[in-house]
Amino acid sequence: MATNNTKDSLPVEEETTTTVTKPTMTLDSGGLLNGADLNGDGHISEEELAMHLEFKRKELEDADAMRDAQRTMAWFALFGMLLYPFAVVLATLLTLDQAAKILGDMAATYFVSVAAIVAAFFGGQAIVSKSTKK
């Protein structure tokens, strides 16, 4: 604040105003930040950008967790399919004839079901990897 001191007048304070403008970003249609303009004013504020980036980060984390869960499920199914015959042999060695017969009878259904799970996982992964390469 400045003061004005002359002989004939009392000190007068002069008001000074400073205008601070925040930088704004405009959005090209169809760009990477499509959907970041939450209030629809045509500009992306820092808050909108931060929220958009946080949403994208969470989206990537969720997709990664889903892929990990699917991979784990497929591996457990594959190991179960490989270890199933040992369960039949073990039941026979322990003289559990009825258990060995039941395990043998349901083997065809079990193998087809587990093979479908494993094939769906690996087939889905192949399709996704092909589509991302293009």
Tokens 């259904």, residue located = 109
Residue 89's SS3 state is helix
Residue 15's SS3 state is coil
Range of the domain at 86: 2-133
pTM, full prediction = 0.53
pLDDT score of 71:
85
Number of domains in the chain: 1
**Helices in the chain by DSSP H: which ranges?**
46-93, 97-105, 107-133
Lowest mean pLDDT segment, chosen from 24-33, 89-98, 102-111, 120-129: 24-33
DSSP 4: E
CA–CA dist 8, 129 (Å, integer)? 85
pLDDT score of 27:
55
